[in-house]
């Protein structure tokens, strides 16, 4: 290997060392990029940096990020999830595992409306975990269902992962939104099947809501609340996604209508106030600024890595792998899975994916299919210890009787189910490709 390639390896090793040492991701990307780029070529390598940064901040599609974030934060701040959970839980509560099925249903709805894992896990944990424990649910199953349901927003559109991947892979956002619908619903269905099976084999672990409690709320009252609480957010999501997938509106236009719709839904529920609006704007600004700062710092890393012939090094590494294209894809999947133990999805998206993308482009891999494999795989990064963020969020709001071992034990089956979903999408590509083709994307 040449001296530049050794510098490239040193750059990757230094990145992970600094990351594990606790240095912020954005600063880690910029630091190793500047240091190793300067060692290899001097400061002249970074003359292209201003143009690269301008290309990032001037990208029109990034307007969708703050708008979708605003939509999600507004619905989360309005605490509509409280009512959602109560209604859906009572509807499904007569079944063994009915409350867990209700949690998964609310996770789907909140994922499609908020897409914010921390907000969903914390809300579900605060509202449902004490109740589930009181009703005799196994602590591990309760914790696993809450954590896994909270991560569904990362694949069910509109998802920030899909927006970022559309930029990395140079694909239409609408195409990825359409492609993610069936895999996202598949993952939720696998969770539900697991809960039903547990209810059949170990009924004491997931008991139903007592009949006396269910009878305390009349069916008429329940359905009135259903149409008031559940239907408006569902209609909002359907209108936003339908306008994008159907080609009626661009993602940025649909996102703006989603932000306005979130305000209307919150006002309709009687939850709108200046305090909610102010907190929503503040949190939206923080989340958007964090993401854009990482994107900008990633440009430094990218320029240095390419200048040090990193792409050639990656290509040679794949040439050493036996097994052809299937082995290449599974190597990427395994790498993303392992990285998920240590770093977040946004860093994985902007580090691992661009490094390996030229290899798959050269082999004419369908990038929409590859994006869905990556997206489903990235779900695991929220659940895998020691740095699974969903585990941290739930640990922070869990009652004292819930131990860390309960959370870790509970998420293991759901991690395996996510791996199963990746396998199904790999062997049945039409799960990801059918809907985009059916609607003409």
Task: Please tell me the distance from the alpha carbon of residue 229 to that of residue 120, in angstroms, as a whole number.
Answer: 17
Burial class for 275, CB neighbours closer than 10 Å (0-12, 13-18, 19+): exposed
Find all residues with CB under 8 Å of 148, minimum gap 6, and list them: 104, 107, 191, 383, 390, 411, 414, 417, 418
Q: How far is CA 268 from the centre of its chain?
A: 28
The predicted structure's pLDDT at residue 381? 79
Q: For the chain, how long is the longest CA-to-CA vector?
A: 75
**274-297: average pLDDT:** 83
Q: How many CB atoms lie within 10 A of CB 323?
A: 10
Straight-line distance from the first to the last Cα atom of the chain, in angstroms, rounded to the nearest whole number: 43
Residue 430 scores a pLDDT above 90: yes
Q: How many domains does the chain have?
A: 1
The predicted structure's pLDDT at residue 217? 66
Name the pTM for this structure: 0.77
Find all residues with CB under 8 Å of 68, minimum gap 6, and list them: 115, 158, 160, 163, 255, 258, 259
Q: Which domain holds residue 404?
A: 3-438
Handedness of CA 350, 391, 237, 178 (dihedral sign): positive
* Residue 423's pLDDT band (cuts 50, 70, 90): very high
**Share above pLDDT 90 across residues of the chain, in percent, rounded to a whole number:** 11
User: What element of type H or E holds 419?
Assistant: helix 404-427
Task: Please tell me the distance from the alpha carbon of residue 404 to that of residue 393, in angstroms, as a whole number.
Answer: 12
Task: Please tell me the distance from the alpha carbon of residue 363 to that of residue 64, in angstroms, as a whole number.
Answer: 31
């Amino acid at each position: 290997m040449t001296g530049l390639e050794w510098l490239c390896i040193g750059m990757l090793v230094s990145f992970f060392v600094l990351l594990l040492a606790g240095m912020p991701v954005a600063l880690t990307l910029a630091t190793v990029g500047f240091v190793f780029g300067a060692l290899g070529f001097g400061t002249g390598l970074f003359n292209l940096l201003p143009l690269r940064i301008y290309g990032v901040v001037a990208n029109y599609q990034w307007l969708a990020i703050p708008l979708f974030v605003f939509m999600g934060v507004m619905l989360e701040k309005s605490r509509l999830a409280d009512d959602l959970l109560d209604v859906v839980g009572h509807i499904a509560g007569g079944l063994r595992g009915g409350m867990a099925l209700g949690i998964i249903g609310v996770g789907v709805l909140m994922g499609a409306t908020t897409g914010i894992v921390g907000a969903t896990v914390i809300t579900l944990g605060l509202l449902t975990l004490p109740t589930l424990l009181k009703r005799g649910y196994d602590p591990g199953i309760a914790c696993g269902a809450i954590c896994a349901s909270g991560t569904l927003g990362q694949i069910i559109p509109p998802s920030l992962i899909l927006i970022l991947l559309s930029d990395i892979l140079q694909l239409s956002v609408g195409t990825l939104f359409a492609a993610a619908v069936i895999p996202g619903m598949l993952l939720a269905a696998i969770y539900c099947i697991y809960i039903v099976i547990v209810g059949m084999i170990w009924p004491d672990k997931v008991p139903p809501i007592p009949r006396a409690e269910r009878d305390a709320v009349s069916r008429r009252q329940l359905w009135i609340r259903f149409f008031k609480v559940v239907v408006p957010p569902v209609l909002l999501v359907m209108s936003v996604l339908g306008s994008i997938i159907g080609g009626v509106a661009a993602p940025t236009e649909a996102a703006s209508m989603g932000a306005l719709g979130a305000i209307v839904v919150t006002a309709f529920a009687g939850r709108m106030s200046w305090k909610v609006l102010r907190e929503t704007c503040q949190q939206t600004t923080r989340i958007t600024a964090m993401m854009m700062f990482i994107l900008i710092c990633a440009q430094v890393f990218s320029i240095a890595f390419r200048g040090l012939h990193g792409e050639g090094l990656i290509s040679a590494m794949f040439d050493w792998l036996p097994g052809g294209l299937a082995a290449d894809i599974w190597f990427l999947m395994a790498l993303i899975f392992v990285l998920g133990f240590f770093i977040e999805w946004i860093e994985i998206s902007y580090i691992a994916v661009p490094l390996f993308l030229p290899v798959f482009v050269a082999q004419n891999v369908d990038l929409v299919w590859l994006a869905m494999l990556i997206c489903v795989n990235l779900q695991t990064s929220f659940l895998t210890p020691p740095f699974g963020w969903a585990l941290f969020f739930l640990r922070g709001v869990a009652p004292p009787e819930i131990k860390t071992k309960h959370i870790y034990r509970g998420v293991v089956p759901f991690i395996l189910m996510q791996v199963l979903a990746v396998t199904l999408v790999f062997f049945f590509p039409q799960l990801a490709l059918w809907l985009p083709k059916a609607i003409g994307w």
